[in-house]
Structure 1
């Protein structure tokens, strides 16, 4: 088979795929300029609208703080109650107005703070009128004072009243919008005391909508179609579109409203909107597209020149990088070939200029070689150990049987039982040591092993083994539990002055056999437990410690990642080993 090198393939693929994009960029860019304009406008508009919406909510929240200070103030609630009760109304109105005046200048753009009591009294501080009997804004809204009171006092929400007709008082004039809330007496939250209304200059909304320029204009329309705020517009407080209008009709009305301001001229105009759930208002953004279209055309010409120059530069860089990468690959391959010929000592030399992926291959190869070398050495050592340990098992069993009968002849039945148990344990362990047995067989062997340990230690500890009957016939690999039991007996009970207790519980948990081995011994240091649960075992000559490591390793070798081992321990209290063995 004719195989091309990776260098030729990469360079060829790059040349073929680099010519096509040049043609596509120019053709697609030419025929889709209008779409690109729309995408740019949408991106900028969405960012502008979202920023304006967030600013609007933040500013209104800050003005709601004034409202909150009024409708929760105990002194104001007390004055309102007195007015409702008809107690010294004139003096209490005066005191209430003084308190409203104290809050008046905490925020710019506040033009009036008014309280309407349950008894129908109206107390306010109005900057435009400076009057105590006539507010500047009540006649500019479309509802009566009684309807306004019923609407605001009907719940515990903040009510937002959109901009009404222009308020004119003497030489002062402005548009106002209002926020209101019922007054709450926290001693009796259901009691109707009155409502408080804060009137705010519409100039605040113009400022939130940001400075209007020839390229864009922001304005606000409520969900009924009335203009809430717009710079240089006489339509504030008036309907922009009819209620129930279709989306296309709304956009046409937005364009007309923006055009009437005179800011955006008569050119092509795009209109976008975002709905603010907090206020129920639509924030509109109208943008002039003429300047953006001209800019994109200039960018198109510049893009052609840059693409051509970039192609040349990238081609040079590509050839350079491919040459370096293929050189690194060749060096790795050469090292692999040496290993294939039997040289187990070879390693790929470190190279900081090598690509990350090839460096990973090199490191994995080096790691594999180290593991392979170590495995070969272990195999040799195992073979040597096997040769050294080739003692005929029958000789050992016959010798133990002879000693057993000698003990019986001398009426040493305890020794006889121990020798018989030892023979059983050895025969079980040597015969097919990696095989599978029933849990019942493993438990029977474990009891014999514990019997020997109890005899050896003169019954210094108690052992309780509880196994659910339903799992007795399940299969398990031999000799998995002995290292954990041995570790608990030989190390767990060191330095403990209480009665030693070893508890082994086995049962079914879903698709697993759950094994729990608990001792009340001296415990294991926390750091060592963390290391053991993480698969880290410190180098030690302790055979029991090595036995636990080998047992855990065997479990994962037999059952893979489905098995799980978890060790818990507290110094001075004991240790619990949890094993989950898949069925």
Structure 2
């Protein structure tokens, strides 16, 4: 039998042997040890954390009870309270006066403590009016659960118990104490402090404790529990009857206070809950182990075929170069010999491709750009011919009207030409207030020519702001709306008043008409458009003018529109009087 030497083994098998003894077996052993150690550490830490969580629940409940006991002790020694309940009053009025002068509100302590819901005083004094937190000790109370269970000890110290509702279910926790500090009272007096149910629920709903919590009294009955499977609310249930899992871990916190003697808080956590996180991590551990096993194996196979693949890629790309397909080899630039060869190939291919583009493609693109430029100039020239033609025609008509002494027609044609020229040729973004008013005057004169005596207007301009610059065509759209939509529907008597004045560092434009007003739906639509942040549509409406002003003055522009059916429309436009607007 021929002896097999290590050097006779193929390189692929050598790599697999190295992987088996250097990676596979060490990983298996390490994962097993790691899982066992981690499980024990997590279990120990979980037990400690849950002990702290249960202790916090027990301490918080005791603190809430102690708050109630403290209030009961204060009322026990309060001479005013005892006198109020012991005095025999000749009439209800006397009691009311004593109540208002010395007592007022028994629940004045409740806002101080979140654990206290309310405070009740009970007395068998027949001359005391039972209202405002004071209740009678009648047959119903003497037969109640809280009264009977605290009968023998409430005179010595406060007692914690549960009230029972009318339907027989356990009600809220209460602290009960008899009020007879002197021992000479002929009347029975009791203070009952009701603990806040929400405080109790939030207290025991401690998410950091991972099991069930039971509050057990001295008779081993459940006073409160987070275990919904136990019917403890309908009546007292014995804790001994609760069925716990066999592997459950129990935690106990005992109370040594006199008013909660032999009470305790018990926490129960199944063993599986303590290790749930570790067991949930088993798929991750297996996935990690699989990663450690599979990836090295695949990597060894990859190393063997990587050199052939990369060299073959370079050969295939070089064969395409002869067909003028200058494709680069994608991927990261590596630093080994094949990586250097790849970079040099990409550099050579890119250089050849750039030279071809410089010689042929760039020239073609340059010709295209020149043609586009010529076409643009031609269109720009065409766009100027038509407006100039219209202006020349209007000027010819105006001159003929002057020769025929038709002064009114000539004036209207002059105004129309001015409006047309200003709306088509936007050679300036800003004009003076005087120029804008002159344009408004021309527009209103044209409208007045159309409507005759149906419309009158008045323009009042502050002389001090005539030369202030404002955006071109920024006021006339408001005037146009007042004329066309406000005055035109009227049968007669239309009036437009325009006031332009200075207020501190602002220019105020007031446009008022006595027209038909803006319909409600259209008014709401306009106000909605004013809140948008961009110019929409093709028409130069109020909203677009407002948005254009906002682009120039940012947030310094204000507009206010008031209207009513058949009451006209009032527009107030306020823009800053600045010289540094955004041109």
Normalising by the smaller structure, the TM-score range is 0.3 to 0.5
Query: What TM-score, normalized by structure 2, do the two folds share?
Result: 0.43
Structure index of larger Rg: 2
Query: What TM-score, normalized by structure 1, do the two folds share?
Result: 0.43
